[in-house]
Amino acid sequence: MPRLNRLSVLLLGIALSAALLLTEYWLLLEHDRGERQQQQQHWGSLATSLVVLQLGDALEHSRIMAQQLINGDPAHAFQQLARRVARDDSPFAGIGTVVLVEQNQREAFENRIATGIRYLQNQHLVPSPTQMQYYPVASYLPDDANALPQGLDLSHQSDTKWLLDLARRSDLPMLLPSQGAGSGNHRLDIVTRLGDDHTLLLLNLRQERLTQPMGDALASDNPLHHVRLLVWSKNQPNLPLLDSQPGKAIPSDAPSFSRRSTVGGNELLLGAYALEPIRPALPPSAWTMLASSAGILALLLLLQQRQLRQNLRLNKQLQLQQQQLEQNTRTLNEQINDRVQSEQALAQSEARQRAILQASSDAIILIDRGGHILQANPAAAGLVDQSATSLEHLPVGVLFPELYSRNPNQSFEQTAVEHEGLPFEASLLRSDGQLLPVELSLSRVVMPDDWFYVTVCRDITVRKQQEEALIRLKNSLAEQVEVQSQQLSALLDASPLAMAYIVDRHLRQINNAFLELFQQQGRNVIGQPTLPYFENPDQWERTGKALYSLLNDGKVVQTEVRLRTGKGKLFWCRLHGKAVNPSVPKLGTIWVYQDISAQRSMEDTLRRAKVLAEETSRAKTEFLANMSHELRTPLHAILGFTEMGQLRARSLEDIKLEQYFGRINASGNRLLTLLNDLLDMAKMEVGRMDYSISRNNLSQCLRDACDEITPLAGRSQIRLQLECVPELLIADIDPFRIGQVIRNLLSNAVKFSPAGADIQVRAKLIEQEGREWAIVSVEDAGPGIPEKELETIFDKFIQSSTTKTGAGGTGLGLAISREIIHAHHGQIRAQNRPDGGAVFTFCIPRQFQRNLEEGLPDAS
């Protein structure tokens, strides 16, 4: 164990020493890293200051050059200045002039420079659009690859117009960043005013010269040799204006130094980036410091191990002495504890015995082997109504007759053996002579040198009274159950419906109607399962699974199944079931059975009759469709010959013959109209009616129908009045079918209106529940329609009972109209006007949609 402790201490010391050395190494590296970062920030500050000074110097040079051009001959001075600017040691790469051209001056300027004003779009020069002002390039020298073309409008590039306006209105030069001719390149120009506010001097900066120091001050130690400098414009943050090392990827990490400067009206963002990642390294002095620290820690570990060996020797001696002392103390304590425990056990046993006897609520009596009372607790004395001391040494048979033996040869031990171990009921003789019912428990307690009996006595007077009350209640409940069972039996027998009480799918009680329904004899079915009454075991299982889960939820279930009588006959039966108590499924269920075989037979007969009627209707419809086609062919020939006869009679001036042919033609047309209606109705019934629904003019459709019916109305001096809001009402309709509906409604209105009446045709557009609806109404001045016939007049072959005008008709027009409107997902209805006459209204959605729910909006 000491060796293990020494090794643990040694390992812990080595670990701590290594941790301290690593921490010191990390701190030295962080110190070196901080110094290198400060150095990088210093170079970055110098580099950004250098570029800002270079830009400021270039701006000042541009202002001086502008003054020189103003004071001398502009043309001669511009040539000389261009030669000076084009030198390689100059910070400027080119010089030019930019003029302000108003819109009314554009043509004159373009004639003067022999080219148009253009701007750069997708690396191509395109004509500049019309605007109030332009800033085109008037001249530029030298004419090299970097030169700006004449007529190039600089105001179209990014946000340069406001800089040009600012330079034109002030004496301060402005820095003008712009997009170069190449993709991804930037130009950096300076513009300054030349005398007036219409001409600007343009100087192009050499970007590589801006990153060189001025003169020889920093030539030996250029800060840009240590950092990479990037300059962005706040207005153009996507591509840098200046890059000390162009061609390389733009760094993604944060700059080592950054600043903001406003130069020439532009807010510039300057950032200096380290050329290489900072890699800290330790100098020799740091390594010396680490070595010294390691030596000191090793010396401390050696001293600690030496001290630990000395402590281990001392601890070993102390442990030997302490073990000897503990052994002696342990022996002495064991002897003392044995004696104290013996005394305490004896005292506790006596105290426990006395406490149990005194505190127990049950009567406890101690009896010796001879049957005499040794001791009684206060509860036992209270039951006997005597003091505890007066009961001592009395025979126990005096108190409990059941423990008294009349045989003098039988000892108390033999009597106690009969009752020992199990509680039994007995009687306690009180001092007043009353016998108290009690429950005794007799147990033998064996001691080392003797034994005695413990008797626990409990008063069971209340329990005896409760038992008597329970017996009386049981007898009363049995009588009530018998009465209720007789009442239930009488109710079941008196019911005309078959009823059964079923528990666990076994019959427990049935009535006479059940026996009659299932053709059973006597009551021998009681206790039998319900399986024989079902068609097969699978049906019995399925019915039980489907219904009993609902019954246990407290629901009244109903179903119809085929059941079997006692003689094997199958019949349809309707079952009604209810659980007696859903929370206690074992209480069973009540079922009512009703024979519905006759009802099911009638339903089958009606179903077969319905199928037969549908087949008959379909055959009738097909017959009408075929016959309509067959009849129309000769009818068209008759109409054709009547028209030819009319023409021949008219040429022969035979008026009588012409009238005959005219009547034949009119009758043929009426017959053709009837055949067309029959054919349309037949197509609708078999679903063969074709619709061509598309975007059409509903207003024009109404006008065409009115124009067609106007001659018919004119014979009775009836006027047709059309009102359409809006005038041009466009909707998704089949114009031919909708025209057919309008002509049917107008024909009926003309037939049933008196001579000289007015017929109103109105169309309007309403919006309801997010949909637009087109509503068309036709109002006549006829006799109206009885209220009970407002719906039936739309049925086939039905006419109103009030149309006694002799107008005739087949009763198909309104039925066909309703089918056409329904095909448009609309509704049609009829109603009476308060002042006489009828109104027929139909509404259709303006936009036709599939599976649209039908519903007539409020047309009022």
DSSP annotation of 395: B
Instruction: Dump strand ranges (E) for 132-209.
Output: 133-134, 137-141, 174-179, 186-193, 199-205
User: How many Å apart are CA 787 and CA 281, to the nearest integer?
Assistant: 108
Phi then psi dihedrals of residue 67, to 5 deg: -65, -40
pLDDT digits (tens, 9 = 90+) for 280-311: 777 787 788 888 888 888 888 888 778 878 88
User: How many Å apart are CA 343 and CA 128, to the nearest integer?
Assistant: 123
- As to burial, measured by CB atoms within 10 angstroms (0-12 exposed, 13-18 middle, 19+ buried), residue 595 is middle
Beta bridge partners of 205: 92
* Angle subtended by helix axes 2-71 and 284-359, to nearest 10: 130
User: How many Å apart are CA 605 and CA 596, to the nearest integer?
Assistant: 14
User: How many Å apart are CA 453 and CA 642, to the nearest integer?
Assistant: 141
State the DSSP H helix or E strand holding residue 360, giving kind and residue range, or none if neither. Answer: none
Q: Using the structure block, give the residue that is written with the tokens 């065409």.
A: 704
Which is more confidently placed, 624 or 202? 202
pLDDT tier for residue 54 given thresholds of 50, 70 and 90: confident
Smallest Cα–Cα separation from 595: which of 566, 568, 567, 561?
561
Instruction: Let me know the angle formed at the C-alpha of 178 by 174 and 180, rounded to the nearest 5 degrees.
Output: 140
Mean pLDDT of 535-552: 86
pLDDT tier for residue 703 given thresholds of 50, 70 and 90: very high
User: How many Å apart are CA 128 and CA 568, to the nearest integer?
Assistant: 104
CA distance to 125, 134, 136, 145, 315, per residue, from 156 (Å) = 12, 9, 10, 21, 95
Mean pLDDT of 312-328: 84
User: How many Å apart are CA 576 and CA 483, to the nearest integer?
Assistant: 26
Which residues are within 8 A (CB) of 82 and not within 5 positions of it... i.e. 6 or more apart? 94, 95, 141, 142
Among 173-187, 427-441, 475-489, 511-525, the minimum mean pLDDT is found in 173-187
Contact 780, 849 (CB under 8 A): no
pLDDT, residue 660, reads 81
User: 719-725 and 758-768: which strand pairing?
Assistant: parallel
Smallest Cα–Cα separation from 768: which of 850, 846, 821, 840?
846
pLDDT digits (tens, 9 = 90+) for 635-680: 777 878 788 888 888 888 888 888 888 888 777 777 777 777 766 6
Q: How many residues does the chain have?
A: 860
Number of H helices and E strands in the chain, helices first, is 17, 30
Residue 248 has which token pair?
Answer: 């390389």
